[in-house]
């Protein structure tokens, strides 16, 4: 289409992106942002597949069960703090810049873990790496929200989260092999690869046009749209000039505190409860499942870890499915359905694990696949509502607040479950316990608004402005 044939009228960034539909650019962003998320998932989850070997190296053959539970929590402490910081930082300095720095730094700070001489040094660097690991999830969610067409936004947000599960599966594969043929140190050498990937991400990922526009960088927004158009291989039906951009009203108050005020308060509280509940169950399962299954199968490493991998593989399917259903059913109803399904799944698994593991591989496999699907279907169903509930100027602050408070469950869950295990709890009641937070998440879902199905980013901003008027 020639420049003369393009509409000289005003247009919004959402209209420009929507005019291309799903394009080569959309797919490139899906992989560029997704791979950063994959490394995030790998770096977090590899601890679950190496903790037994690490504790034996630092404390001898008997290990240390009390500190082993905390081992999964160290990086989560950093993640929680980093997630809080990611919101205001990326809202102020840009999505691309903060995610690039975060990816580079969590890879860099993983390197000292390879050479840690004792538990204390290892724990310190897991916390430090976690600080930068924490920036990933909220910014990834926001980038998928701001770069994808309206009709497919929910799918790409939820499917994008599947990259984290891919990282979990990678951690399971690498951990299963490496702890048997080499040492746990090699697992963390692979976890340092984001140091290299950060340069690839920084070079090929543009800054969000929505972020540029609300910060008055209209030329930057146009430059991003031109990059999108070029990579898409087709032209937008608009004349890409700064003076043609329609920018929604920008709130004079755009601090992170806004997510706790006015019409956003009830939504923020509900989403924090929902995300906390989901993370408590998922982190609890992922932190202790490999070790518990190793114990239940009498030390059969491959069988126990394969069960955990199968569960995570089911989680990838769940992330893809929930995006489709969310577009058809609506955000709120899909989320409530997911949390209700999770309660049922946890209770079923709590009964299945009463069977002798050594003769019940298939019931175990089916039950854990079902639970992995249900838990991840539920928590991922919350992702579109997290990013769609806030305007661009403090969107990532809202997402980051929910992620940070929600992921704090990842600190508590492994420690609580580890303490209960040390107190003599059997596998069955530990799994049944996970149904409790999911029930709270189910109830909190009814407090949410209906969601922004079918609304583009600029419509959401206009609605927010009207509500304040």
Could you report the per-residue pLDDT of 324-381, keeping only the tens digit for each? 888 888 889 999 999 999 999 999 988 987 887 667 777 877 888 898 899 989 999 9
3-state secondary structure 150-208: HHHHHHHHHHHHHHHHHHHHHHHHHHHHHHHHCCCHHHHHHCCCHHHHHHHHHHHCCCC
What does the alpha-carbon distance between residue 53 and residue 74 come to, in Å, rounded to a whole number?
Answer: 17
Q: 9-237 and 255-450 share one CATH topology?
A: yes
d(CA 232, CA 223): 14
Distance CA 141, CA 160 (A): 8
Paired tokens of 422: 């040390």
Distance separating alpha carbons of residues 314 and 318, to the nearest angstrom: 6
Q: Across residues 406-417, what is the average pLDDT?
A: 81
Q: Which residue has the tokens 């019931």?
A: 363
For residue 3, name the pLDDT band (cuts at 50, 70, 90): very low
Report the distance separating Cα 431 and Cα 416, nearest Å: 12
pLDDT for 469 equals 47
- Return phi, psi of residue 38, to 5°: -60, -45
Domain 9-237: assigned CATH number: 1.20.1250.20
Supply the DSSP string of 372-433, one letter for each residue. Answer: HHHHHHHHHHTHHHHHHTS-GGGHHHHHHHHHHHHHTHHHHHHHHHHHHHHTT--HHHHHHH
Q: How far is CA 393 from the centre of its chain?
A: 21
Q: Report the alpha-carbon distance of residue 429 to residue 401 in Å, rounded.
A: 31
What tokens does 327 get?
A: 């577009």
Q: Are 364 and 307 in contact (CB under 8 A)?
A: yes
3-state DSSP assignment of residue 11: strand
**Digit-coded pLDDT (tens) for 270-316:** 999 999 999 999 877 766 665 556 655 555 555 666 666 677 778 77
Judge whether residue 17 has pLDDT over 80. yes
Q: For residues 202 and 209, give the distance between their C-alpha atoms in angstroms, rounded to a whole number.
A: 16
CATH architecture, domain defined by 255-450: Up-down Bundle (1.20)
pLDDT at 2: 39
**What pLDDT sits at residue 326?**
85
Domain boundaries, the chain: 9-237, 255-450
pLDDT tens-digit series, residues 197-246 = 999 999 999 999 999 998 889 999 999 999 999 999 989 999 899 999 88
- Reduced to 3 states (helix: H, G, I; strand: E, B; else coil), residue 8 is coil
H or E element, residue 261 = none
pTM: 0.80
**Overall average pLDDT of the 390-411 stretch:** 85
User: Do the beta carbons of residue 82 and residue 134 sit within 8 Å?
Assistant: yes
Question: Is a pLDDT exceeding 70 seen at residue 394?
Answer: yes
User: Residue 19 pLDDT more than 60?
Assistant: yes
Position 386 pLDDT exceeds 90: no
Quote the CA–CA distance of 304 and 71 in Å, as a whole number: 20
Rounded distance, CA 352 to CA 366, Å? Answer: 10
Whole-angstrom distance, CA of residue 209 vs CA of residue 206: 8
């Amino acid at each position: 289409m020639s420049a003369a044939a393009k509409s000289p009228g005003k247009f919004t960034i959402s209209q420009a992106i929507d005019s291309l539909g799903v394009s080569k650019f959309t797919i490139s962003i899906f992989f560029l942002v997704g791979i950063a998320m994959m490394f995030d998932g790998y770096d977090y989850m590899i601890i679950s597949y190496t903790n037994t070997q690490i504790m034996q190296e630092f404390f001898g053959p008997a290990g240390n069960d009390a500190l082993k539970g905390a081992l999964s929590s160290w990086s989560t402490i950093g993640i929680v703090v980093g997630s809080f910081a990611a919101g205001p930082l990326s809202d102020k300095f840009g999505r691309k810049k903060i995610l690039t720095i975060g990816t580079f730094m969590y890879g860099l700070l993983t390197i000292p873990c390879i050479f840690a001489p004792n538990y204390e040094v290892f724990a310190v660097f897991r916390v430090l790496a976690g600080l930068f690991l924490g920036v990933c999830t909220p910014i990834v969610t926001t980038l998928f929200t701001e770069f994808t067409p309206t009709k497919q936004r929910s799918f790409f947000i939820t499917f994008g989260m599947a990259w984290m599960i891919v990282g979990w599966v990678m951690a399971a594969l690498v951990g299963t092999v490496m702890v048997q043929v080499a040492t746990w140190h090699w697992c963390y050498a692979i976890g340092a690869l984001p140091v290299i990937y950060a340069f690839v991400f920084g070079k090929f990922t543009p800054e969000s046009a929505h972020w540029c526009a609300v910060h008055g960088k209209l030329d930057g927004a146009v430059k991003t749209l031109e990059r999108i158009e070029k990579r898409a291989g087709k032209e937008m039906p608009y004349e890409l000039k700064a003076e043609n951009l329609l920018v929604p009203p920008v709130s004079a108050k755009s601090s992170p505190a806004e997510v706790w005020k006015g019409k956003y308060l009830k939504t923020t509280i509900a989403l924090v409860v929902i995300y906390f509940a989901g993370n408590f169950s998922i982190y609890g399962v992922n932190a202790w499942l490999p070790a518990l299954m190793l114990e239940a199968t009498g030390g059969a490493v491959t069988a126990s870890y394969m069960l955990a991998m199968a569960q995570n593989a089911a989680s990838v399917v769940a992330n893809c499915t929930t995006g489709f259903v969310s577009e058809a059913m609506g955000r709120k109803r899909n989320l409530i359905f997911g949390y209700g399904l999770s309660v049922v799944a946890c209770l079923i698994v709590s009964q299945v694990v009463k069977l002798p593991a050594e003769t019940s591989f298939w019931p175990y496999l089916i039950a854990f696949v079902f639970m992995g699907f249900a838990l991840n279907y539920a928590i991922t169903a919350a992702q579109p509502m997290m990013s769609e509930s806030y305007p661009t100027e403090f969107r990532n602050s809202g997402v980051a607040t929910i992620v940070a408070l929600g992921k704090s469950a990842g600190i508590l869950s492994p420690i609580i479950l580890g303490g209960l295990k040390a107190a003599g709890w059997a596998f069955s009641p530990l799994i049944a316990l996970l149904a409790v937070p999911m029930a709270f998440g189910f109830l909190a879902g009814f407090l949410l608004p209906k969601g922004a199905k079918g609304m583009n980013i600029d419509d959401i901003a206009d609605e927010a402005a009207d509500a304040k008027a």
